[in-house]
Chain A
Amino acid sequence: MKKDYIGILVLICCVSLVPFFIQNNYYIGVFVFTGINCLACIGLSLLMGYAGQISLGHAAFIGIGAYSSAILTVTYHWFPWFAILAGVVFSVITALCIGIPALRLKGHYLAMATMGFGSIMHIVAVAAIDITAGPSGISGIPKLSLFGFELNTDVQFFYFIWFVVILGLYLAINIIHSREGRALRSLHGSEDAARAMGIHTSMYKIKIFLFSAVYASLAGSFYAHYVNYIDPDPFGVMHSVLLLTMVAVGGIHQLWGAVIGAILLSLLPEFLSSLTEFFDSFNITYQTDYDTIIYGSILLLIMLFMPEGLVKGISTFYKYTIGRYLIPKHETK
């Protein structure tokens, strides 16, 4: 718990320093998307890492949030914050309708069911042209304003989104260390034993599913307000898989894993595209298709050598290499 708070402080420091080093608006934008992914991943990590339930339909909740914000502000001229709230309510209702039957399933079956839900929502977004404007998308979504200040520049939105992420992380950390959180973590072990402790397991599964849907919905709403334009493309099943990958790469059993994984995999494509220039200077043609290869091999290596994710992997690595020499000798005996 103490470690977590120190981690949050470190994160705050890092985040507040980023705009001083990076002036380019494009890269600030990349960090904004990183924050949005982080938010969704924290929710997903609560569901997957702590409650042990898999979801391959999380992008759909992001979509519900984004579309609620877009439609309510553009078509019905709602105040953005009310639209965000409405998005959260829609997500919760949807999660309830999906969660009650789906969370009775386990393992692969739950993954299939949520994946089915994800692709259905994507098809709805594409096909319900009257409501969602279909593949042509909705544009002209207003910018968010905070206490009268409009979040006009990328840097302002950057600070805003990371404030939300850190708030969400703080909330999630407190949840997992509370009585409810312990009950949640017990689901991951043995459900029978959890029930024998007096824990209503199915209720907890649904609760946490709703909770992670809220995180995803907020991420979607902020996405819509930041980009000011949405189409169904980013809310497909592939995005759910990407979120899942982020959580898994960082480490599924730790909230920090979700944060680190989200940051890493969101920044990786940018790093890879900068490789193009690097190779160009050697007169080697680097094609963007190679990205997939590098991307895949990084995932493969992490899964092979650090199956518990980067956070755990690196800390174990540290313990057995550098940490070994730092511990006083009488303790190593």
Chain B
Amino acid sequence: MLKLLNINTYYGLVHVLKNASLHVNPGEIVTLIGANGAGKTTMLRAISGLNSVAEGKIIFEGKPIQNINADKLVKLGIAHVPEGRQIFRPMTVLENLELGGYLIHKQHGKAYVRTAMNSMFDLFPILKQRQDQYAGTLSGGEQQMLAIAMALMCKPKLLLLDEPSMGLAPLIVKEIFNTISKLQKDNGLTVLLVEQNAKAALQIANRGYVMETGRIILEERADELLLNQEVRRAYLGKDKRNIWE
């Protein structure tokens, strides 16, 4: 479905992604884990067109999509939930969702937006209760749910999730991750998930990639990554002693 071939990106003179390649098959959850500054977010931003790609190819459903404007990619079916719960705080929850349905409103009309919104309310019932509240007054978890719901409004084929667990309580993280895995099972949604919380991410993912300083260093099935000694030591914080002894 999505294929990245030897991507190189730069922030000014800083070489961020160095020949990074990965692929995502239809209907799977792929997670990208790694330390701070490894280039995970940059990778997502490159895919969704928010960052430019200097070299390399990004292929989505057989078509090259690198350096296409972000708004056009949404039409192709790539939805990006940016890092840090980027919802529109001075607007109500309802307005935020309507904004998420910006593209389908144009294509299919208002009634379609309404049905999409109702299915979001089924998915996240808390948002229905809060629909007239300003988005800025929601709790962190609710804001994250809203951000995901906004991205799902336009029925994407591929969902790019950037650190949905950031700054949230473990229980809420669990809830959000359950929803993501439910979406995959019920709707066949394909997800590329970038996470710091490697354990939670690997538990719902099918495959995982490990990034280090702009390079992909490891690719494996998620359950195997969970058992991988090196990954356990570096990202899961377990069995440190085993290795040192």
Write the residues of chain A forming the contact surface with B, with a CB cutoff of 8 angstroms: 179, 182-183, 185-186, 188-190, 192-193, 195-201, 253
Contact = CB atoms under 8 A, between A and B. Distances in A.
A196 B80 contact: yes
Given A179-B106, A195-B49, A197-B151, 13 more contacts: A179-B105, A183-B99, A188-B88, A189-B88, A189-B90, A192-B86, A193-B86, A195-B50, A196-B50, A196-B82, A196-B86, A198-B75, A200-B71
**Which of A183, A186, A188, A193 is the most central at the interface, judged by chain B CB atoms within 10 Å of its CB?**
A193
Nearest to B135: A189
A81 B90 CA distance: 40
A196 B81 contact: yes
B86 A199 contact: no
Contacts of B106: 179
Contact of B79 (A190, A196, A200, A201): A196
A188 B81 contact: no
Interface of B: 48-50, 69-71, 74-75, 79-82, 86-91, 95, 98-100, 102-103, 105-106, 150-151, 154
B99 A196 contact: no
Contacts of A188: 88, 90
Contact of B82 (A190, A198, A199, A253): A190
Contacts of A201: 71
Contact of A193 (B75, B87, B90): B87
Contacts of B150: 197
Nearest to B73: A198
24 contacts: A179-B98, A182-B91, A183-B99, A183-B102, A185-B88, A186-B88, A188-B90, A189-B87, A192-B82, A192-B86, A193-B87, A195-B49, A195-B70, A196-B48, A196-B81, A197-B99, A197-B100, A197-B151, A198-B70, A198-B102, A198-B154, A199-B99, A200-B69, A253-B90
A interface majority secondary structure: helix
Contacts of B88: 185-186, 188-190, 193
A189 B48 CA distance: 19
A182 B48 contact: no
Nearest to B87: A193
B91 A199 contact: no
B141 to A, nearest CB: 18
Nearest to A253: B90
Contacts of B95: 182, 185
Given A185-B88, A253-B90, A196 B102 contact: no
